[in-house]
């Protein structure tokens, strides 16, 4: 009974136990969620990272594999395991990479343990393998992929201290080219993207970081930046690239508009209702020029099917907008204008989103970038909201096929580094 209680405690602590078959001491054993069973009796406990405890050797201080009666499967003659982890990926122990280095890994500031090349967290859940020299292979349960090899585009800052498999000291430190040491991946990536960042004042910096945070932390910004280019303050009026669909690559932001949006955003938030030249008509404005322009770049990275879907959503809204809110005769612009009491019933997240499918997308990307306007976009336009959610969480469904492998490798790295998780949009 004491043993069973102890094993239940292990489960409450969310320690990770695999399921499968194990060979040990000439016996063929069943492993069920970590419990090692022989002839119907629990004889031990196995963790995903290869720690094994015999139930018979149990002592009072054996909770902790570092001090208790635990062995590594690597150290037991003729011991191996074949099965699956709790998240359903195949697992072989000791594993194909063994023996690898052993020591402490800090990846983007997150601490992990490496045992004979197997990387695990504090709950002994296996997350991948480390071979030394910056060579990581990560397990990606989200896409059901057992091995994702990281390359220079996906490895982020890390340090390792321990011993190589031959016993010599191994100490490694890696900082990405052009990255700064003391700040997070997403801030580094935003600084790389926004060329004039160091010349901005604090309010402007906060605005740029908040505008781009979800795109940077999910890895989408890095992929788009590498394909399309950076952003810089210039004097090109916004919208030029989108309206004409001319490929400019890099984004030039109008400095005046940048300053005005920051001011409006600080005073009214990401969305503002403004008066127009036409008496009694108002227009909703998204005050997010940086993420708007990024949205134009992002559109070039979407699959054709996703672009077609966006076009359908736009055409349906355009038809309804023209029927419900016909443009006043005194107005020759392309924005959706409404009376003040109709603002909550408008078709487009902003007036300007009506101008073309490209502006519709860019304004939606912009609104999605800030928490406050993202909530409203979800209510007002669930169709476009769902595509934007897919860009972040299931990019393989909506991004151009040639980019998907890079994105998924990078996202696996960012999850591992604690930059990117399910709660990014909360």
Residues that bind Zn ion (CB under 5 A): 239, 242, 359, 362
Q: How far is the CB of 356 from Zn ion (least distance, A)?
A: 9
- Please, what sign has the CA dihedral across residues 194, 292, 311, 277? negative
Q: In terms of CB distance, is 210 or 359 closer to Zn ion?
A: 359
The span from the CA of 109 to the CA of 101, in Å, is: 19
Q: In terms of CB distance, is 118 or 238 closer to Zn ion?
A: 238
Q: How far is the CB of 310 from Zn ion (least distance, A)?
A: 14
Q: In terms of CB distance, is 105 or 264 closer to Zn ion?
A: 264
Q: What is 189-230 written as a DSSP string? A: HHHHHBTTGGGS-HHHHHHHHHHHHHHHHTTHHHHHHHHH--
Inter-residue contact 194 to 231 (CB < 8 Å): yes
The span from the CA of 136 to the CA of 154, in Å, is: 10
Q: How far is the CB of 122 from Zn ion (least distance, A)?
A: 46
Q: In terms of CB distance, is 20 or 239 closer to Zn ion?
A: 239
Q: How far is the CB of 338 from Zn ion (least distance, A)?
A: 21
The span from the CA of 232 to the CA of 213, in Å, is: 17
The span from the CA of 159 to the CA of 170, in Å, is: 10
Q: How far is the CB of 238 from Zn ion (least distance, A)?
A: 5
The span from the CA of 387 to the CA of 380, in Å, is: 14
Q: In terms of CB distance, is 111 or 311 closer to Zn ion?
A: 311
The span from the CA of 227 to the CA of 402, in Å, is: 11
Q: How far is the CB of 256 from Zn ion (least distance, A)?
A: 16
Nearest to 97 by CA among 20, 14, 164: 164
Q: How far is the CB of 347 from Zn ion (least distance, A)?
A: 18
- Write out the two tokens for 42: 């629990």
Q: In terms of CB distance, is 151 or 256 closer to Zn ion?
A: 256
The span from the CA of 17 to the CA of 10, in Å, is: 9
Q: What order do you get walking across the sheet with 118-120 strand by strand? A: 145-149, 136-140, 126-130, 118-120, 110-115, 102-107, 158-163, 169-174
Q: How far is the CB of 362 from Zn ion (least distance, A)?
A: 4
Inter-residue contact 230 to 193 (CB < 8 Å): yes
Q: How far is the CB of 314 from Zn ion (least distance, A)?
A: 14
Inter-residue contact 43 to 29 (CB < 8 Å): yes
147: phi then psi, degrees, rounded to nearest 5: -135, 120
Q: Which residue number places its CB atom closest to Zn ion?
A: 239
From residue 221, alpha-carbon distances to 107, 188, 207, 369 in Å are: 20, 11, 16, 12
Q: How far is the CB of 205 from Zn ion (least distance, A)?
A: 23
Q: In terms of CB distance, is 170 or 355 closer to Zn ion?
A: 355
Q: In terms of CB distance, is 356 or 406 closer to Zn ion?
A: 356
Q: In terms of CB distance, is 10 or 363 closer to Zn ion?
A: 363
Residue 79 has a CB neighbour count (10 Å cut-off) of: 20
Q: What is 303-314 written as a DSSP string? A: -HHHHHHHHHHH
Q: In terms of CB distance, is 10 or 254 closer to Zn ion?
A: 254
Q: Is 276 left (phi over 0), alpha (psi -120 to 50) or beta?
A: beta
Q: How far is the CB of 179 from Zn ion (least distance, A)?
A: 30
Q: In terms of CB distance, is 50 or 239 closer to Zn ion?
A: 239
Where does 108-194 show beta strands of DSSP type E? 110-115, 118-120, 126-130, 136-140, 145-149, 158-163, 169-174
């Amino acid at each position: 009974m004491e043993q069973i209680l102890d094993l239940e405690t292990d489960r409450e602590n969310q320690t990770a136990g695999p399921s499968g078959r194990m060979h040990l001491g000439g016996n063929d054993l069943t492993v069920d969620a970590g419990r090692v069973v022989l002839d119907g009796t629990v004889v031990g406990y196995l963790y995903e990272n290869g720690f094994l405890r015999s139930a018979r050797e149990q002592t009072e201080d054996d909770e902790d594999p570092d001090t208790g009666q635990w062995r590594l499967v690597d150290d037991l003659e003729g011991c191996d395991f074949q099965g699956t982890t709790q998240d359903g990926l195949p697992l072989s122990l000791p594993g194909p990479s063994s023996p690898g280095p052993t020591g402490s890994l800090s990846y983007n500031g997150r601490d992990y343990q490496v045992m004979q090349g197997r990387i695990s967290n504090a709950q002994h859940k296996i997350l991948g393998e480390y071979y030394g020299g910056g060579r990581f292979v990560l397990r990606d349960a989200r896409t059901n992929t057992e091995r994702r090899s990281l390359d220079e585009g996906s490895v982020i800052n890390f340090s390792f201290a321990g011993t190589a498999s031959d016993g010599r000291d191994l100490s490694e430190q890696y900082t990405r080219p052009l990255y700064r040491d003391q700040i997070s991946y997403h801030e580094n990536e935003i600084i790389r993207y926004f060329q004039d960042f160091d010349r901005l004042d604090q309010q402007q910096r906060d605005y740029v970081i908040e505008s781009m945070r979800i795109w940077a932390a999910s890895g989408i910004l890095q992929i788009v930046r590498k394909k399309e280019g950076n952003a810089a303050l210039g004097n090109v009026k916004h919208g030029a690239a989108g309206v004409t669909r001319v490929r400019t690559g890099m984004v030039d932001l109008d400095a005046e508009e940048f300053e005005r949006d920051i001011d409006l955003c600080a005073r009214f938030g990401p969305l503002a209702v403004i008066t127009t030249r036409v008496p009694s008509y108002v227009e909703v404005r998204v005050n997010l020029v940086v993420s708007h322009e990024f949205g134009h770049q992002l559109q070039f990275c979407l699959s054709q099917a996703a672009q077609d879907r966006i076009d359908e959503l736009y055409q349906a809204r355009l038809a309804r907008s023209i029927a419900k809110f016909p443009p006043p005769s005194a107005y020759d612009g392309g924005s959706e204008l409404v009376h003040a009491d109709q603002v909550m019933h408008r078709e487009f997240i902003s007036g300007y989103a009506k101008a073309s499918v490209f502006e519709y997308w860019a304004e939606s990307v912009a609104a999605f970038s800030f928490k406050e306007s993202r909530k409203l976009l979800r209510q007002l336009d669930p169709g476009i909201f769902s595509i934007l959610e897919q860009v972040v969480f299931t990019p393989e469904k909506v991004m151009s096929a040639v980019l998907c492998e890079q994105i998924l490798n990078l996202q696996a790295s960012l999850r591992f580094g604690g930059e990117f998780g399910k709660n990014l949009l909360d």
